Every structure is written in C-alpha cells, then in structure tokens.
Structure 1
C-alpha cells in the first residue's frame, strides 16, 4: 500500500505544481495559484502521516516507509527551490518573462551556488532522519532495522555535498582563457587585439 501512496504523492506533487503555475500564468488566478503552491508540502506531510499510522497499525517496516519520510524532508529542503525553478520556466514560456539564467559555473558565484545546494541537502537530511527516528521510536513497528541503512546513506550524501561545496571554495573553478564572466556565467569572449602592420 505504501508504494502506491508514494507513487500517488509523487504524481500529485507535480500535478499540483503544474496546476498552480497554470493558474498563475494562463488563467491569472493569483490567489488560487498561491493556495496550490503553498499547499505542496501538505501532500508529503499527508504521505508521512499515512505512513506513521500504517506502522502504528501493525505493518512491517520497509524501505518504502523511510522513502515516504524522505519525501517530506526533500519537500522542506528543496521544495522552495524546485518551485522557483518551475516558476521561472513557466514565466518564460507562458508569461513573457526572461529566459532563466543557468547555474553559475565559475569563481565565487559557483561556490555560493554549491553552498546553497549543500544547505538544502543538510536540511533535507536532518528532517528525514528525524522523521525516520520518530517512526522507530513511536510506532512499535517490527523490522525497523531496515531504517538503519538510511542513516549512513544520508550521512554520506551530506558529507559529499559538504566536500563539494568546500572544494569549490578552496579551489574555485576558473573560466576558459578569454572568457568574459559575469556572476559566474560566461557572457562573451574577449577579442585579442590585432597588431598594426601598417
């Protein structure tokens, strides 16, 4: 049952996101759009609560229960950035807005970008592990040892993200020779001066 609920929640997240943006840019229903977009985390919260009560009801713990917890963690940590990304794409395609800028690739701008990703990951990991721990402590479900692997896997994900962000801070990525860079993005190429042979 939990697998079905996880799949339904995943589909519902993207459907509600699309409906919220369509209401904003195609129908100009700003209030409806706001309600739909603000309500996105409710989908993952409902999934987690159903997971909690499923375990309280005597279900054997499985990796899908932990996955449901990770959805809520992801929604809190990464949800706002996902909505901003989708909003920028929708605004460009249907609202006459500018084309969204790509992520910065060079210099300190790239470092800031990687630290922002790292912060989202750490928030997601912290919330997910807290929720998984609550499933172990407050449900009396059997087989919760299956949750233990999530601790070290998510721990590894956090350490990797920290390492990447720190690496770009210590060793900033340099742009190619001759590139004109603004805010970590290549915006043009410098033209070498020609020798005057006259």
Structure 2
C-alpha cells in the first residue's frame, strides 16, 4: 500500500478520533468551546490529505486509485461531514450521556425526503471531489499518469446515478414502519 493510501486510512481514523474527542470534551467534561474547537478540526484533516496528495503528484508520482480516493474522501468529508457529526452527536448524547431522545429509524415519506437530501449532499460531494480530480488531471496534463483519476471519476459518476435511482425508489416504494407486535402469539 502506498503512502497516500496510508494517509487516507490515517485521516479517516483521525476524523473519527477528533469527533470522539470533541463529543467527549463537550458532554463529559462540559467544555463546550473546547469540544466545538475539536469538532471544527475535521476540515484540517482534509486539508492535510489534500496537501499530501498534491505534493506527491507534484513530485512526479503517477496518480493511483489512492490519489483519486483521496479526492473522493475530501469531497465526501466536506459534503457529509456536518451530517456525520450530527449523527454521532445524537447517538453520543443518547447512548453515552443518557441525555436526549433515542434516535429513531425513519420510514415512509420522511425517509424518502431524508434520502433525497442525502443524495443532494452526494451531488455536492461529487462536485468537490470531481473538481479535485479534474484539477489534478488538468494540472498533471499527462494522460498516462492520470488514467486512474479518470477511471475513479467514471465509477463515481455511475454511483451518483445509482444513488439517485435508489432515492427515487423510496418515493415509489416507501419503507414501512415495522410492526413490533407482528409474529407474536396472542
């Protein structure tokens, strides 16, 4: 595994460690400002990954799938970062501090709208990541060194389309709430 692949792994671990520390500091230590500061560090992790990837390519490395995944990771982290932090925040409050309401599973129209909003975040992530990929392709200006970037961009484009189809299916066949009494003998 190359250095960029290890950087992606380190950044993903760092992302969740910073979120965990931020939530722990915020709720367990009751230091809201420090907790928010730690949570705000998540984009710094993305910036480090971007700089490492750019530096590696600048030095003449041939772009690999890992370089492309770094761009995807950055796009997804920016597009979904806030919602991932909110998701973790709710669960931390309920399961760890025993405060707040229990997170519920969405069903029906509410789930359809939620998934469609998630697809909108996916589009935003795609715009950022695809912009980075296209920027790297343009910057390197050597098709033999950027083939992997273009391949990942094509795959991600297909995935974005499939995600839209899934979002549409939630409107056609909405997920129904499970009946907790189903299957119980009376």
TM-score (ref. length: structure 1): 0.82
Q: Which residue of 1 aligns with 2:159?
A: 157
CA contact (8 A) 2:140 2:146 kept: no
Q: CA deviation at 1:173?
A: 2.0
1:94-173 maps to which residues of 2 (within 5 A)? 94-106=96-108, 108-140=109-141, 143-169=145-171, 171-173=172-174
- Do structure 1's residue 12 and structure 2's residue 17 form an aligned pair? no
| 136-145 vs 109-118, which moves further | 136-145
Superposed CA offset, 1:36-71 (max 9, x none): 111102101210121011101111211111111111
CA distance in 1, matches of 2:161, 2:79: 16
CA distance in 1, matches of 2:45, 2:84: 15
CA distance in 1, matches of 2:157, 2:85: 26
In structure 2, relative to structure 1, the CA distance for the partners of 1:50 and 1:165 (3 Å cut) is same
1:1-198 maps to which residues of 2 (within 5 A)? 1-106=3-108, 108-140=109-141, 143-169=145-171, 171-173=172-174, 175=176, 185=177
Gap regions ≥5 residues in structure 2: 182-186
CA contact (8 A) 1:20 1:36 kept: yes
CA distance in 2, matches of 1:73, 1:38: 17
Higher strand share: 1
In structure 2, relative to structure 1, the CA distance for the partners of 1:140 and 1:45 (3 Å cut) is same
CA contact (8 A) 1:52 1:139 kept: no
Superposed CA offset, 1:83-142 (max 9, x none): 011101111123332343233122x21210110121111111111111111111124565
- Aligned pairs, number: 178
CA contact (8 A) 1:111 1:172 kept: no
CA contact (8 A) 1:20 1:33 kept: yes
TM-score (ref. length: structure 2): 0.87
In structure 2, relative to structure 1, the CA distance for the partners of 1:187 and 1:81 (3 Å cut) is farther
The alignment yields a C-alpha RMSD, in angstroms, of 1.9
CA distance in 2, matches of 1:71, 1:174: 29
